[in-house]
Structure formats: structure tokens, C-alpha cells
């Protein structure tokens, strides 16, 4: 018997020169200082090296792979049987976690400064094995009175999976980075007027230009702050369905996971 314990979390190999993405159980974990590091088999430190002895008595329950296919409890991306892990949700029930959300959780928990403030992307561009390549999302909108011309105007405000996991309860706020790719999707689906009204505008509140919702009639900026406030009030009362579904789109999985987690695990604003 013996050997180093296998890794509980998928992660990029901790060896400086190596960028291999190590799936759960495919590598080893080694305790270094006060944290666990994951290594691919090729870079696994020799047993008996620094810290290896400490791990011997640490009996940790290995997270089980998911026996059934299901949506990831965080990003709602469909995960095939065996491709994710089962983790406890905030309601205490176990749910499936996809390998990407697993790594983000691991890196957030580990909170290594050079990792947090590094430059490598946390969300891989390639879809990981066993995860659906795309997800259906509802583009959520709010019709409200333009502060300037008093006509009704449509603001694009949120994204929410068409088939959300039980634990994925709140829509995500559409910020200026998300509007960049939402705008052409709207234009392509016949919402040219709304798409054209999304453009860079000057805001004195933020003292800069940003890609913003505007009035379809008079072009006045519909500022993030007042719109967000109106959205929060509605959603708090009646949930996601208080907003209009403008369109349902198929979006590549990594694009959606970047919305969910932010580039480096900072997350997106939840409409709740």
C-alpha cells in the first residue's frame, strides 16, 4: 500500500512548468505548508518528501462522482454521469458540481495570492469532458418608463438558464462585458431596435463611457443604478419570472461560466 493520496479537487497541476488540468482522482495531493497542492502523476513529488508524512493520518471523505447526469448546482450546465462530483448544496442536499465550478471553488477556498491576482484564466476555453458544450439561457428584460421622454423602453438586465439546477435560483445581472455579446444575439433574432439602443454612452455618475441600455425612442441613457434598483425590487417580490424573457439563446458553456464566476472567481451580481 502507500502512495500519496489522490486529489479530491480537479485543479491545474501545481508544478510551475506544468499546465496539465488534473481531474479528480487522476493526480495526487500533497500538503505543503498550510495548504493542499494538486500535482499531475508526472510531476508528483516523491513520497516521503516535504509534508507527505502529515497526510497519512488525514482521513478525508472523497467526494463521490455523480452516478446520474444532471445540471451543475452552480452553473446549471448539464454534466454526464461520472463527469462531476457530488457536493452538499446550501440546502444541505447533495448536488452535482461540474469540473469547472469545482476548480473555481477550490481556487477560491485555497486563496493563494499569486493565483488570485495572476493572469491565467480560471475558466478554460475548451469544454471539459462530460460537460455540455452549450447551455440555453433566457435573456431577461425589463420594460420601464424612460426618465426623459416618459415612453416605455426595454432594458436588457439579466441571464438565467432555461433549465436551472434546483440550487441555481437567481438570475445574473447583465453588465457591460456581457452586453458586448448579448447585443449581436438580439440583433440576429429580430430585436434590432433594442440591440441598437445598447451602445457606449457617457455617464456622469461613473464619470466615463460604458456600454449601456438606452431609450429606444429618445436614446437617453438608462443608467445601471436606477435600472438595477427597479429589477431588484421586482425580483425580490416575484422571483425571476417577474422579468420578461426577451429571447432564449444557446451560449457556449465557457462563456456562461465566465458570467457565473467572473474571470477569476469574483462572481457576478445575482438578481435577488
Which residues sit at the interface with Zn ion, rule CB under 5 A?
72, 74-75, 98, 101, 146, 148-149, 215, 217-218, 220
Q: Determine contact, residues 265/103, Cβ cutoff 8 Å.
A: no
Which residue lies nearer to Zn ion by CB, 39 or 122? Answer: 122
Minimum CB–partner distance for residue 145 and Zn ion (Å): 9
Residue 249's SS3 state is: strand
Minimum CB–partner distance for residue 260 and Zn ion (Å): 7
Which residue lies nearer to Zn ion by CB, 158 or 214? Answer: 214
Q: Determine contact, residues 246/141, Cβ cutoff 8 Å.
A: yes
Minimum CB–partner distance for residue 178 and Zn ion (Å): 17
Minimum CB–partner distance for residue 109 and Zn ion (Å): 15
Geometric angle at alpha carbon 223, from 219 and 227, rounded to 5°: 110
The C-alpha atoms of residue 95 and residue 93 are separated, in whole angstroms, by 6
Which residue lies nearer to Zn ion by CB, 75 or 240? Answer: 75
Minimum CB–partner distance for residue 183 and Zn ion (Å): 19
Other CB atoms within 10 Å distance of the CB of residue 175: 16
Which residue lies nearer to Zn ion by CB, 142 or 146? Answer: 146
Read off φ and ψ for residue 238, nearest 5 degrees: -125, 10
Which residue lies nearer to Zn ion by CB, 132 or 149? Answer: 149
Task: Identify the CA nearest to 115 among candidates 11, 29, 45.
Answer: 11
Helix axes 253-261, 99-110, angle to 10 degrees: 30
Q: Determine contact, residues 42/64, Cβ cutoff 8 Å.
A: no
Minimum CB–partner distance for residue 224 and Zn ion (Å): 17
Which residue lies nearer to Zn ion by CB, 146 or 174? Answer: 146
Minimum CB–partner distance for residue 269 and Zn ion (Å): 18
3-state DSSP helix/strand/coil % of the chain, to nearest 5: 25, 30, 45
Q: Determine contact, residues 11/22, Cβ cutoff 8 Å.
A: yes
Which residue lies nearer to Zn ion by CB, 110 or 217? Answer: 217
Amino acid at each position: 500500500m502507500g502512495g500519496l493520496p489522490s486529489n479530491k479537487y480537479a485543479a491545474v497541476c501545481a508544478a510551475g512548468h506544468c499546465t496539465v488540468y488534473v481531474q479528480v482522482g487522476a493526480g495526487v495531493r500533497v500538503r505543503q505548508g498550510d495548504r493542499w497542492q494538486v500535482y499531475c502523476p508526472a510531476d508528483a513529488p516523491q513520497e516521503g518528501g516535504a509534508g507527505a508524512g502529515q497526510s497519512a493520518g488525514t482521513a478525508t471523505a472523497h467526494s463521490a462522482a455523480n452516478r446520474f447526469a444532471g445540471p451543475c448546482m452552480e452553473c446549471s450546465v448539464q454534466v454526464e454521469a461520472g463527469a462531476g462530483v457530488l457536493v452538499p448544496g446550501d440546502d444541505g442536499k447533495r448536488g452535482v458540481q461540474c469540473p469547472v465550478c469545482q476548480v473555481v471553488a477550490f481556487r477560491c477556498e485555497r486563496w493563494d495570492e499569486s493565483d488570485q491576482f495572476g493572469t491565467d484564466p480560471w475558466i478554460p476555453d475548451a469544454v471539459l469532458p462530460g460537460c455540455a458544450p452549450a447551455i440555453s439561457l433566457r435573456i431577461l428584460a425589463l420594460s420601464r418608463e424612460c426618465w426623459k421622454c416618459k415612453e416605455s423602453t426595454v432594458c436588457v438586465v439579466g441571464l438565467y438558464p432555461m433549465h436551472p439546477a434546483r440550487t441555481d435560483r437567481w438570475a445574473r445581472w447583465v453588465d457591460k462585458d456581457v452586453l458586448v455579446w448579448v447585443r449581436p444575439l438580439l440583433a440576429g433574432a429580430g430585436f434590432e431596435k433594442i440591440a441598437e439602443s445598447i451602445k457606449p454612452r457617457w455617464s456622469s455618475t461613473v464619470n466615463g463611457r460604458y456600454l449601456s441600455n438606452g431609450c429606444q425612442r429618445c436614446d437617453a441613457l438608462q443608467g445601471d443604478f436606477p435600472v438595477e434598483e427597479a429589477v431588484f425590487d421586482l425580483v425580490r417580490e416575484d422571483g425571476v419570472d417577474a422579468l420578461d424573457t426577451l429571447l432564449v439563446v444557446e451560449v457556449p458553456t465557457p462563456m456562461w461560466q465566465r458570467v457565473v464566476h467572473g474571470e477569476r472567481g469574483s462572481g457576478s451580481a445575482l438578481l435577488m
